[in-house]
Chains A and B, each alone.
Chain A
Amino acid sequence: MNTITDIKEVNELRAISLNLFNKNGYPTRKDEDWKQSTLNIFLENNKELAIYKANKETINEKVLENFRHNKIIIVNGAIQKIEFCAKDKDIIILTSIEEYYKNNSKNLLKLFANKKNQLIAANNALATSGFYLEIKDNLDLPIVIYHQFNSATDGKQLHQKNYISISKNSKASVFEKFTNDNKKSFINFNTNIDVQKNAHFKNYLINSNNFENCIYRFKKVNIEASGNYESFIFSNAIKTIRDEVEINLNESLAECYLYYTQFLKNNEDHEIKVRINHLAENTNSYQFSKSIIDGTAKGVYQGKIFVDQIAQKTNGYQLIKSVLLSDQCTFHSKPELEIYADDVKCSHGSSSTSLNKDELFYLMARGILEDQAKKLIVQGFLSEVIEKISDEQFKNYFLKKTEDMLS
């Protein structure tokens, strides 16, 4: 494999990570964090996947959104096209991650951290593609990052490392749209996000059209004083995905809002793992996830709220709900609280039920056909999360997506 760059420090960090990965290998079900994971089965069966090497690739224009936005099109990990509106072009900095390493060697240790997690070690060792995105002021239009993966990655593994920095007092909405036209690939996606003082970052993501792949996506978010991070992940029509996020609320009044909806059918599989570290006073976190699981699909939600002893006046809230539509589908929920401060408000709730028969009867008693009544209930169930999205444009976008998905 050729992951050597001309930056000595990066090469050293990669070598350390590779040794670590070689020592520990891929995660297995014996690891507590991976007990419910199906991703490791894929990895066990596909240990010798070749590494994809970045190339000039063709853009799939069909998936471009038709609302006004700043475009970043990334194919197989490499930036292929950018298009920023006149108002925003001077406040967006976008480069490849390699370019960023060259000019910012002091940040490298942070970007190559997290060595305990085997897949992050693999990413640190093997990622050569990715981007650096910096937002320096309030964006006029949202950014849509199109992550496209095509057949050039068939049967290969691709490791991508990204870094997003939202400067202080800035506001930005970034929508990441993943489309996969590849087969039997392993995509290992690692993004560091810094939300600086009083910055607001809205990060929305859609997983779809991903029938034949395995994706591991890890985000680490550091939030400074009065910074606000809002994320929403919409998953439907996927194969095997694990979305993991670790959030550090580092300073007072930092807050994060994490929303998820899943609609999984057939043998689809989506795991969500969240760790929120309340590391300062007066920090808030909010997690709200709703899942509809059908067929032999499997959903997993592991969510941990950690409250450091100095993080007094913390508010941590977690609510996980799922509806199981078949006898063969499963949903695993593992809510955890670890609290070392005494003046905190933390709660977690989790429920898995079948479709509410009284709701169904009520709608049918109004003449609504059974299938349509079920759709209304499912749509309503998922919409409750989507209604929380603070960006009106994206709220409506995802409400429409949900409606389309069910029609």
Chain B
Amino acid sequence: MLSIEKLNVSIGDKKILKDFNLKIGKGEVHAIMGPNGSGKSTLSYVLAGKDGYDVNGKIMFKNENIIDLEADERAQKGIFLAFQYPIEIPGVFMNNFLKTSLNAVRKAKGQKEVDIVEFLSLVKQHAKKLGIKEEQLGRALNVGFSGGEKKRNEVLQMSLLEPDLAILDETDSGLDIDALKVVADGVNALRSPNRSFLIITHYQRLLDYIKPDFVHVMVNGAIVKTGCSKLAQELDKIGYKEFQKSV
């Protein structure tokens, strides 16, 4: 599904990712854990196609190097980034945004675009599962949403767009225990042999609910250790200090 080879990312003189390598197979769930400032969020932005970075290396997605593609093209090909801090856009209403996004992705996939009736039925169905009130769908995008509402909204978008690769950037931050469970259930419902996940998190807590196949430790812009889900539990006990020393 995804193969990142020798990815180097910098802003000005500051190197953020250094010869970064990662392979994610079809249907696999990978977790990346690491201390603040290790480059986790930058990795997620670069994979999603955000401008403003100097990027070198290869990002092979479904056997195509997507490094020169714009964010919209990557999303249309099936990459989805659940933002750590979902952006508030006043005046852009949820329903209009979701329908535009859904149809853009469907059109790119060669699927029939949905009309307003089909869309409303679909979005209500997904929203209900995530405990999102209908009233929220009539509001401006993320404006005035609580932290939990914003994160649920990210999962709602993910479930509507049905991506091949979902990158979750600290989706657990700012969530209380109940909301964490709802969001994790939403993500688990999307797990399939054809869909891969890259979960970025500081804490093992989220991984109690979404069991990863692999856990990677990222320090100073590179992966320094890879293991199974037990590694997350170890990290919870020993922290990142040992890994930071070795870099």
Residues on A lying within 8 angstroms of B by beta carbon are 357-359, 361-370, 372-373, 376-377, 379-384, 387
Contact A380 B140 (CB under 8 A): yes
Instruction: Please pick, from A370, A372, A376, the residue contacting B70 in the complex, using a CB distance under 8 A.
Output: A370
CA distance A361 to B45 in the complex (A): 10
Contact B92 A364 (CB under 8 A): no
A/B interface sample: 15 pairs, CB < 8 A: A357-B51, A357-B52, A358-B87, A361-B51, A362-B86, A362-B89, A365-B48, A365-B49, A367-B72, A367-B75, A369-B104, A372-B104, A382-B91, A383-B91, A387-B91
Contact B92 A365 (CB under 8 A): no
A-contact 0/1 string along B137-165, CB 8 Å cutoff:
00011000000000000000100010000
CA distance A119 to B149 in the complex (A): 54
Contact A372 B71 (CB under 8 A): no
Contact B100 A368 (CB under 8 A): yes
Question: Residues of B contacting A366 with CB < 8 Å?
Answer: 75, 97, 101, 104-105, 157, 161
Question: Residues of B contacting A379 with CB < 8 Å?
Answer: 91-92
Question: Residues of A contacting B90 with CB < 8 Å?
Answer: 380-381, 384
Looking at the assembled complex, report how far the CB atom of B113 sits from the nearest CB atom of chain A, in whole angstroms: 12
User: Known contacts being A367-B104, A367-B161, A372-B104, is A377 close to B89, with CB within 8 Å?
Assistant: yes
Q: Top 4 closest A-B pairs, CB basis?
A: A380-B91, A380-B92, A367-B75, A364-B71
Contact A361 B71 (CB under 8 A): yes
Contact B51 A363 (CB under 8 A): no
B173 interfacial by beta-carbon distance below 8 Å = no
Contact A367 B101 (CB under 8 A): yes
CA distance A377 to B157 in the complex (A): 18
Contact B86 A368 (CB under 8 A): no
Q: From B160, which residue of chain A is reached at the shortest CB distance? A: A366
Q: From B50, which residue of chain A is reached at the shortest CB distance? A: A361
User: Known contacts being A357-B51, A365-B81, A367-B161, is A373 close to B86, with CB within 8 Å?
Assistant: no
Contact B72 A377 (CB under 8 A): no
B224 interfacial by beta-carbon distance below 8 Å = no
User: Known contacts being A367-B76, A376-B92, is A362 close to B70, with CB within 8 Å?
Assistant: no
Instruction: Please pick, from A359, A367, A372, A387, the residue contacting B89 in the complex, using a CB distance under 8 A.
Output: A359
Interface residues on B, range: 20 to 34
Question: Residues of A contacting B105 with CB < 8 Å?
Answer: 366-367
Question: Residues of B contacting A364 with CB < 8 Å?
Answer: 49, 70-72, 75
CA distance A377 to B100 in the complex (A): 13
CA distance A361 to B97 in the complex (A): 14
16 extra A-B contacts, CB within 8 A, seeds A363-B89, A366-B157, A376-B100: A359-B89, A361-B87, A363-B101, A364-B49, A364-B71, A364-B75, A365-B48, A367-B72, A367-B75, A373-B72, A376-B92, A376-B96, A379-B92, A380-B90, A380-B141, A384-B91
CA distance A363 to B157 in the complex (A): 11
User: Known contacts being A367-B108, A368-B104, is A377 close to B92, with CB within 8 Å?
Assistant: yes
Looking at the assembled complex, report how far the CB atom of A177 sits from the nearest CB atom of chain B, in whole angstroms: 24
B83 interfacial by beta-carbon distance below 8 Å = yes
User: Known contacts being A362-B89, A367-B72, is A376 close to B97, with CB within 8 Å?
Assistant: yes
Question: Residues of B contacting A365 with CB < 8 Å?
Answer: 48-50, 71-72, 74-75, 80-81, 83
Looking at the assembled complex, report how far the CB atom of B182 sits from the nearest CB atom of chain A, in whole angstroms: 21
Contact B72 A370 (CB under 8 A): yes
Question: Residues of B contacting A384 with CB < 8 Å?
Answer: 90-91
Looking at the assembled complex, report how far the CB atom of A373 sits from the nearest CB atom of chain B, in whole angstroms: 7
Looking at the assembled complex, report how far the CB atom of B33 sits from the nearest CB atom of chain A, in whole angstroms: 23
Question: Residues of B contacting A359 with CB < 8 Å?
Answer: 87, 89
Question: Residues of A contacting B70 with CB < 8 Å?
Answer: 364, 370
Q: From B76, which residue of chain A is reached at the shortest CB distance? A: A367
Looking at the assembled complex, report how far the CB atom of B51 sits from the nearest CB atom of chain A, in whole angstroms: 7
CB interface residues, B 115-132, toward A, < 8 Å: none
Task: Identify which of A358, A364, A365 gathers the most chain B CB atoms within 10 Å of its CB.
Answer: A365
Question: Residues of B contacting A376 with CB < 8 Å?
Answer: 89, 92, 96-97, 100
Task: Identify which of A358, A362, A377, A382 gathers the most chain B CB atoms within 10 Å of its CB.
Answer: A362
